[in-house]
Structure 1
Amino acid sequence: MTVSPIHTLDISRALHRIKGVLTALIIGAALSGCGVVNNMIYKTTGDVMQGFSRDHTVPYLLESDDLAMGCAMSEATAPLLMSFGRVTSEPDQLAVMLYLSAGGCAEEKAREHELAGLAAMYGLKAVEAEDAMIRQKRAYMLAAKRYHKAWQHHNAFYGEPDSGDCPGFSDDMDEFIYMAGLMSGLQALNAQVQSTASLGVPANIGSIVARATSCLDNEKWWGAPMALRATVWAMIPGALPQGEDAFERLQRADEQGEAAGVRLPHVFHAIAALNQGDDEKVKAVIRDHAEAISDRPADWDWRFVDAMATDMIVAISDRMWVENTGHRTPLGQLGSFWDDQQEEVETMDLDDLL
């Protein structure tokens, strides 16, 4: 039988189409396989990064007293580390530390804007003062959002603190991050108040945190859990249990923090005193802190926490100084104040002895 050239051409075209389809299927399968392999690599990398950050990066940072370095690290690495939640389990526990630290960065800027505004008010520069206060509120909005994210990740990992059940801690770092999450909740609420905006931070966080601190060993954590609880008692009307004295508890927590070389309770004590408008009590806490850091070095494993406490005490001191003098706490004079009485130094006229 004779095959026409046209029929031969049709067969050739059909074979070409089949070859094209097969090629596409093979390439698709290969690419699909690459996607599976890539996902496995990403997941493994994410798991390794989460574990390494939690077990080594965070402890390494806590041994440092360079707050600016910690701030820069959290802001720079948070998007990278959090993105691994797309390919493996959500890094909730690590997120508590990242967003708590990043929130602190934003709050630090808010405090700087506040000082600029207070200095402008002292110098009777109304427009500069108003602009600084606007920038302050914007920075507090960002701080509140970051702190609130830390709080949400804390709850996702440990469970709702208001459930009445305490989580089972696997090690000291696990317990510390739980406490850090509680602090982030209070910070979120405070930053929202300072921003004067409604950002969705629950108003009952304070009472929740106060109850959740009972899951922590107060002696082990430098008196900070009790200081947290007592601060809530002092600041929220009706929160103080019958027979308790919030400031007596805060004083005892201060002593524990001083003895441990982690003076975090001083911060809560000063905040509670500020809330009551008791400037003399605030000054006394600042003086105690200044004396404590000169008497005893920080616990090496928790230098970052102690440095953070000092930074916040300095911020409170600076605010008081700027309000009253127009400038911050003079260098090397933390614990002293503009209205301190200068001791008169008795002098002897040596001419009388000749």
Structure 2
Amino acid sequence: MQTTGISYSETSVRGRSRPSSFRQRFKHSASWLKGVAVALTLGSLLSGCGVVNHMIYKTTGDVMQGFSRDHTIPYLMASGDLAMGCAMSEATAPLLMSFGRVTNEPDQLAVMLYLSAGGCAEEQGREHELAALAAMYERKGNAAEDAIIRQKRAYSLAAKRYLKGWQHHNTYYGEPGTGECPDFDDDMDEFIYFAGLLAGLQALNSEIQSTSSIGVPKNVGSVVARASSCLESDKWWGAPMALKATVWAMIPGAQPEGEDAFERLAMTDRMGDEAGVRLSHVFHAIAATNKGDEAMVKSVVRQHAESLKEQPANEDWAFVDAMATNMIIAISDRLWVENTGHRTPLGRLGTFWDDQKAEVETMDLDGLL
């Protein structure tokens, strides 16, 4: 009997033959099962690697945070190199802050990074301001306007960075100025607390300079003034009291009855001179500028220049003293550019364009007799 309609391709005889399609399906099923097994094995291994990697990242983050706080910051504070500190903060902030994704948020470190990075942007703003003043002195209106625009942009960036430092400060230490002071672990803990207060005050000042709204709380000045009471002025070169007195001088009604902001500033200036950390001079000059007292501003600049000759910078806090000098030079430069069109001449910090007296030639008349 002839069978039709079905065609087999046999590979053997006597009933042991199998259709080729069956064999292909079997091979396909075996390959699929093998692939699933490999996938499951790799998934398990990769899952384990993910856990291991997370542990490595967390450990690295904790080590980096601890090392930066205990060694990098103290090393930088003793260096006195402002440009290097500026470059370091801008370059490493994204790296160090990213460890907050795998371990605790580095709030303390963030205070220092954003305070320094904010100072970088503020320095650019001051440079643009000097360019604007020089252009106005030479009656170059378009150049002056362009420099003012660049100045406001730089101050806007500075305000954003300072504000981040202030926010991290509040996250770590709690809301400042509430009447309760934090329990500090060591001197560096206190210094970072003070740095956070500076960040808050600078955020407000930079926002004002930028003439734009960054979101800085408008009561930050009074909050900082109250929070500065948590620090001993005798220990910190008079700076906490100077900060508070500056707020008194700048905010109407902030000065307590019986207090005199400028007497306090004169006192803290002497403390800073003796300690070799002259940050109080900056606060004093800012308060005098806000008052519109140019004679007082000049006096503070002269005092700072004289102190630099008489008292070397504190070895542990040379960076802070250098920062104060840099800001005093900026204040001096502003006065010089406004009145002469150029900055403070090299080596003449503490002198001014109107100090020079006309030299009168004298003749020895006795020799003619």
TM-score computed with the length of structure 1 as normaliser: 0.96
How far did residue 19 of structure 1 move?
1.6
Q: How does 1:302-341 map to 2 (within 5 A)?
A: 302-341=317-356
1:161 alignment partner, SS class: coil
The aligned counterpart of 1:38 is 53
1:90 alignment partner, SS class: coil
- Deviations 1:90-124 (CA, angstroms, capped at 9, x unpaired): 11100100000000000000000000000000001
1:163 alignment partner, SS class: coil
- Deviations 1:3-36 (CA, angstroms, capped at 9, x unpaired): 8445555444333222211111001111111111
**C-alpha distance 187-348 of structure 1, shift in aligned 2 (>3 A):** same
The aligned counterpart of 2:312 is 297
Q: How does 1:149-298 map to 2 (within 5 A)?
A: 149-298=164-313
The aligned counterpart of 2:93 is 78
The aligned counterpart of 1:135 is 150
The aligned counterpart of 1:111 is 126
The aligned counterpart of 2:83 is 68
The aligned counterpart of 1:56 is 71
The aligned counterpart of 2:6 is none
Q: Distance in 2 between matches of 1:62 and 1:204?
A: 30
Q: Distance in 2 between matches of 1:69 and 1:350?
A: 59
Q: Distance in 2 between matches of 1:338 and 1:75?
A: 36
- RMSD, aligned α-carbons: 1.7
Which blocks of at least 5 consecutive residues in structure 2 are unaligned? 1-14
Highest CA radius of gyration, 1 or 2? 2
TM-score computed with the length of structure 2 as normaliser: 0.92
The aligned counterpart of 1:100 is 115
Which blocks of at least 5 consecutive residues in structure 1 are unaligned? none
- Deviations 1:133-159 (CA, angstroms, capped at 9, x unpaired): 000000000000000000011111111
How far did residue 332 of structure 1 move?
0.9
How many equivalent residue pairs? 354
Q: Distance in 2 between matches of 1:257 and 1:271?
A: 16
Identity of aligned residues (%): 72
Task: Select which of 37, 54, 60 maps to 1:22.
Answer: 37
What is the identity, as a one-letter code, of the residue corresponding to 1:85? G
How far did residue 349 of structure 1 move?
1.8
